[in-house]
Chains A and B, each alone.
Chain A
Amino acid sequence: MNDIRKNWTWFILIMALILGVGIYLGQSRRTELGKSFDYSLDEYRQVDPSLIHYTEVEPLVPTLGKISALAVAPDGKIYVGGEDAVQVFPDGGTFPVDGIPTCMAVDDDGTMFVGMQDHVEIRSKNWEKTVWPSPGGKAYLTSIVVDDEYVYVADAGNRRVWRYDKAGGKPLEIGRKDSANGVRGFNIPSPFFDVDLGPDGSLWAVNPGYHALENYRPDGMPISSWEKSSFMIEGFSGCCNPSHFALMPDGSFVTAEKGLPRVKIHNVDGSLRCVVAAPDQFDEGVVGLDVAVDDEGRIYVLDPNRNQVRIFEEKE
């Protein structure tokens, strides 16, 4: 009987030993990762307060969800596109659309051009709808601007700007690589590709893969460009910035970035003029900060995280 007990005792002890070694190995830890494994952007989030020349005022709070498109009309009204509708401020009502607009522009006569991901819908003042055919391919429309003659549509999927007549029809292609004429082509790693019109009526387009803003004639020939790559406040960082921009009445650029969310103003030559909003004024990780400017120089920033259009005015 003693032998049986002894054998069982040994058996249990050996099993416990095996189990203990297993648990020890399972729970053993290597040392924590060292400093070289830290990823921190804190240094770049800090902005010298003297550079911030704008102050935030009461925002517009749309009743729509998932706001995604912003436009300032020639009459000063603010159009905000979101889930299945477009809302007009101040007190302009809400108009239904089928889906979530990705971009918008408003003509002098109140005609609205709404980008619906892969095609453009035109809404007359009476809200009658006309649909233009999709440019095709991998069309992903991210920005629209309209002047007296043309409608320019930025297509991130096809890496082109399409120039339509007001009546639609076959568009002219802007941005195809053409080394002979100095067109290097648009490098758009992610779906952020913005366009706007300069005070002289020429087209400005962001080339986010190069951290560049490029100026084109209406026929697609390049005029000028500037670019600035830097994590510092003077430049643009990451693989695709600025994600959005708008032109001020004096021709300077209001730019918004993702990754390090910040809104700045660059002079015509690309040098930094001032900061509108620093990274700490936005939620971490926010993307899609569309910007627009009115005739009085007020800056509107669509903040998808807060579902607001935030307004910034120059400090006195």
Chain B
Amino acid sequence: MKPKGKRKRRDFVRGAAAVLVGGVAVSSLRSCSPKLVWQIDPEKCTQCGRCATHCVLAPSAVKCFHSYSICGYCDLCGGYLRPDAKKRNTGAENQLCPTAAITRTFIENPYYQYKIDEDLCIGCGICVEGCDVFGNGSMYLQVKHDLCVNCNECAIAHACPSDAFKRVPASEPYLLKSDREKRIS
């Protein structure tokens, strides 16, 4: 005859194990279906700034992407320079990005290359707005999947005012701007 206390503990352990095993089984079944991840549709994004403030990660998993084949390599880059910039140079007072996440490199007169420093980019989208208004729209926001923890209910998607967040297959996790549409030079 086993002691009553031991049996009760065993019953509890069995019950709890059943719940956990059941949970693992359900999640295993779900993993058999195609995995989806969150991504931003660049055509819908309005650069509201919520990607920078609403991600569960700090800094946000949303970063600026730059399509070099669309970029005009302009000296007067709307994504790099403030509208009221006194000079077209790398002076902090002239830069649009508040975190200085864009580097400007001289290529040849009058062309400059603009690179995004992902460690500094917080996904605020201010450069995207400047590039959209005056440039070719070569800068745009995307969720970086080596950073994103792929929450079931994405906090940014919940706050996005333009419904730009969508689920896409993990096998094709980025919504990159089509070079063919915009590229002419």
Contacts and interface: CB of A to CB of B under 8 A. Distances in A.
- Say whether A and B bind each other: yes
Contact of B72 (A7, A26, A39, A240): A240
Given A189-B185, A190-B135, A239 B72 contact: yes
B16 interface: yes
A223 B76 CA distance: 25
Given A4-B11, A29-B53, A190-B184, 6 more contacts: A4-B8, A7-B8, A8-B12, A189-B74, A239-B77, A285-B133
A211 B74 CA distance: 11
Contacts of A239: 72, 74-78, 134-136
A30 B134 CA distance: 30
A160 to B, nearest CB: 11
A37 B124 contact: yes
B9 interface: yes
Nearest to B128: A39
A30 B47 CA distance: 17
Contacts of A259: 78, 133-134
B43 to A, nearest CB: 13
A262 interface: no
Contacts of A31: 53
A157 B53 contact: no
11 contacts: A3-B12, A4-B11, A7-B12, A11-B12, A26-B153, A36-B98, A37-B124, A157-B184, A231-B84, A240-B134, A285-B133
Size class of the contact patch on chain A: 35 or more
A138 interface: yes
Given A7-B12, A138-B185, A140-B184, A237 B134 contact: yes
Interface string A221-253: 000000001010000011110000000000000
Interface in A122-177: 138, 140, 156-157, 159
A189 to B, nearest CB: 2
A9 B151 CA distance: 28
Interface of B: 5, 8-9, 11-12, 15-16, 47, 49, 52-54, 56, 58, 72-78, 83-84, 96, 98, 110, 124, 126, 129-130, 133-136, 151, 153, 155, 184-185
Contacts of A8: 12, 15
A209 B81 CA distance: 15
A245 to B, nearest CB: 18
B98 A238 contact: no
A238 B135 CA distance: 7
A190 B53 contact: no
Centre residue among A26, A140, A157, A211 by max chain B CB count within 10 A: A26
A240 B131 CA distance: 12
A231 B85 CA distance: 9
B162 to A, nearest CB: 14
Contact of B83 (A30, A37, A41, A187): A41
A31 B49 CA distance: 12
Contacts of B5: 3
Contacts of B15: 8
Nearest to A34: B98
A39 B76 CA distance: 16
Contact of A189 (B49, B96, B136): B136
